[in-house]
Structure 1
Amino acid sequence: MDNTELTKDQAEATDQTFEYDEDLSPEELEALYDQSLKTVQEGEVARGRIIAVEKDYVVVDIGYKSEGQIDIREFTDPDGNVNAEVGQEIDVLLEWTEDEDGTIILSKEKAAKIKVWDEISKVYANNGVIRGVVVGRVKGGMSVDIGVPAFLPGSQVDLRPVRNLDSLINQTLDFRILKFNKKRSNIVLSRRVLLEEERESKKSETLKVLEENAVMRGVVKNITDYGVFVDLGGIDGLLHITDMSWGRVGHPSDMFHIGDEITVKVLNFDRDRERVSLGLKQLKDDPWNNAAENFAVGTKVRGKVVSLADYGAFVEVDEGIEGLIHVSEMSWTRKVRHPSKIVNVGDEVEAVVLSLNPESKRISLGMKQVEPNPWDLIAEKYPVGTTIEGRVKNVTDFGLFIGIDEGIDGLVHVSDISWSKRIKHPGEIYKKGDEVRAVVLNIDRENERFSLGIKQLEGDPWDRVPESYAQGTKVSGVVTNVTDFGVFVELEEGVEGLIHVSEISGDKIKTPVGMFEIGDTITAKVTSISRKDRKIGLSMRRLDEEPRSTYSEYMNNTQSATSNLGELLKEGLAQKEAENQE
């Protein structure tokens, strides 16, 4: 091959042209060829093409007389896979033109870093935007990968302080470069600057349409105890808790979460101070406007218990409409001392509208009215005179309470326990839990009282007293009590008579105390009968009107040791005088 052909072939291979002298020797032509190729200097970046992938290196053609080599590790990922293909074009850094073996050493990684720095420099010079990945936290802020490590100060992360910076890790975000120094590898970024520019841009557009009564879309930006702040587009508005719902709102977080998109109405806009008041409930009509139609008296409704007070429970029957169930309207039969004994907050209950006042926004509800009043049915189920059986639920000084139906107790007054026994306390005979029988005496529907009687299970012995103890009849009985005004004598069980002190003897007696003992058997004459008052008047004095034989018989029966009544009385008076003298 002559010198001309060699030079042409080489020139075509390198796609370069140069002047040469045909009289040059081959060595001179070779040197001229090398000089023409050497357009890329050491430390510069060139474009090359992979022509081979070997075990330890990748061969790249960059237009030199010989190919360059890149360490295979620069193409190997963490999993050990080699990401290099023949024909692939890449940027490389020319580290050395030739090593001791005459090999050109290249680096893909270093070339990439040089290109990144060049790109960063251009972005910084043009005040442009660069994208990066937040990789971790560092002192004072975050570390961001933009091809090379960069620093994002905590104050430049957002428009407002971010409490949880870790939430940004692995996020890809846009930044503005605040500081750039390649020699010191110092890059400071800001995301806040971009957000401020975006906010100002949106703000100018929002202000064009922002006015009172305008309906706008926004994003919940912050939640507080008193409301939520909504971003309307570059300007924030406050949606107060009282304007969120016509109903009761415990906390704004019960209705909203940060990031929620909501539609609101502008209630007030102070353009000078750029303060916006928003409303959500104002997008709907006040439910009380139609309350008279929807909640007429007698209407049965369902609702949720929202709060309890000592006097009742508040129930939300519709958004913004709460009714009160007073404790007296919770049960027909139970005496409810506190609503928590019947319902709890959050319970779904059924009730009936008892009264409605839309002007004062009040509704009275009743739970017990959902079911029939058992007192309306009790008279039909247990008419007067019916014998019932029940368990003693309570024992008091004045009587027994007996369970009849669920929630309804009947009272047996102490006076209706026995015809004959004098009962000081019902507990002498009955205890709680005893099964008893009784007769229905009276049902008072209005006062919800059910009267029962036990003694009425048997006949009243006074029904036959007028016949058995006619006036003038001589009777015998046992002394049950002795008082200053007379002596009580039991003629039979349940029938008692009184011998007044004036009817004991023809002689004047101040008191019979000491003359008779309880348990003594005496005879007397019936002087009067009152069936209504259940009283019988007796007289010993009038026994003297009987024949002597009868009188003597009486004396023999009552005091065998005394010959006549006069002696008995004299003996009693003498004994009493002796006691007084002592």
Structure 2
Amino acid sequence: MTSTTTYAPSREDFAALLDESYGENEALEGAVIKGIVVAIEKDVAVIDVGLKTEGRVALKEFQGPGREGAPKVGDEVEVYLERIENALGEAVISRDKARREESWVRLEKAFEKQEKVEGVIFNQVKGGFTVDLDGAVAFLPRSQVDIRPIRDVAPLMHVTQPFQILKMDRRRGNIVVSRRTVLEESRAEQRHEIVANLEEGQVIDGVVKNITDYGAFVDLGGIDGLLHVTDIAWRRVNHPSEVLAIGQTVKVKIIKINHETHRISLGMKQLLDDPWQGIEAKYPVNARIHGRVTNITDYGAFVELEPGIEGLIHVSEMSWTKKNVHPGKIVATSQEVDVQVLEVDPVKRRISLGLKQTLTNPWEDFAAKHPIGSEVEGEVKNKTEFGLFVGLEGDVDGMVHLSDLDWNKPGEQAIEEYKKGDIVKAKVLDVDQEKERISLGIKQLASDPFAAAPADESGPDYKKGAIVTCEVIEVKEGGIDVKIAGTDFVAFIKRAELARDRADQRPDRFAVGEKVDARITQFDRRARKVAVSIKALEVAEEKEAIAQFGSADSGAVLGDILGAALKARDSEGKKSAKKKTDEE
């Protein structure tokens, strides 16, 4: 007979078993576990997760884009166990957190492998949008939504689409994704395939997609090509919108393909005949042509000679007389003008035109009407440090150099007598048609007093020591200006040369128009200088009188001697005058 021993656990043993059971269950908190849906109560699913009590999960946690939908009784689901038991004695579980944990593991693997992930844009936040990556919430910056900025994002909301993970930080729970990267990659693949099927020189139809100041972008069926403004037509096109419109279908020629950057250059004018062929024969040098001004710049004006052919009138070739003037003040856009061909360069596709060449050259006209030596009249237009500019007939200017203003005065002094607006007469000295210069002289209207003087300086009126009669023309503080009678010589007699006696060396004792005798003390033809002195005349007469009538030591009185000398001079003058009258 076999005996059986029955073990009855004690209170302590039961407590230990209970603690062990609770310890195992506590280890499940914060983990994803499996459970069975045992009931559906309104909007809540009751799930048995193998614990003492069931847990409850809202049905909305099972719903939404990319989710499995509401569960049924008996379905096995994975949930996140937050706590084994709450105040109501129920297990606290979550389907959202379970999905989030699953997603993080899956997303980290995709991020490491640089794989795309599926997500749904479900909300807009500051600076971008939030994306549901099957439970994990990511941030989509606004700059990463599309290749180009888009105004309306509504069509992209709540739609499952691919994203690229740019950054992940599980500790902070941050994920940053990009939709733009996916589009660029897809577009690059598409562009590569399209470009591979295109060839330079190929003619293809396209649709104008966008217009800018420098050209138009044409959609060639998935890839854009640039149609530069200079390749739209042979003629000048100021803006592409003059010829093209968005949505317009155009036939273009592929000029160049860059297979590395996938850039395609297009042309429309290349489908037409080149009007520059045989241009030299069509527009020979010196030919005169009628054209239309199409564009005006700071350096000249462009003239259309025919569709596709333009020439440039440089600002220097626009007017004979208007210098440093903006071309817009000479011609206007759309104005019809006659021009002359100056140069043709078929290689650089340039034609140089002249406008002034079709007009009369005013310098040639002036030279024909006013030969050298003729007298002209004009208005002083400007005073400079080197002379006067005088406006002349034909809208040309002549220049009077400082040295040609006055025979007797320095140019710097003579120019002060003129002011802008004065009407002056001058003599034509030279006309240089090539340099467009006219030289004038004002002093040449009068004879050169030094040229009229005897070359050997032997004339009685000009040699050093000769006695001359002068007319006072101006009284100054330091002396007087006088003009030698019968000549154009002007001299200045300083105060010290006005008399032998200091008491008589006063300029104010002379009056304008008064005649005085003086002695020439200097006549320098090269320096063009004449100097006279009253004092020198008095001293010379005194010496002559003393020599003739004796000195004061011999008893003669100086006054008597001078009186005799003056009387003798007057007598000699009367005889000379009588002789001259008899000869006449």
TM-score relative to the length of structure 1: 0.46
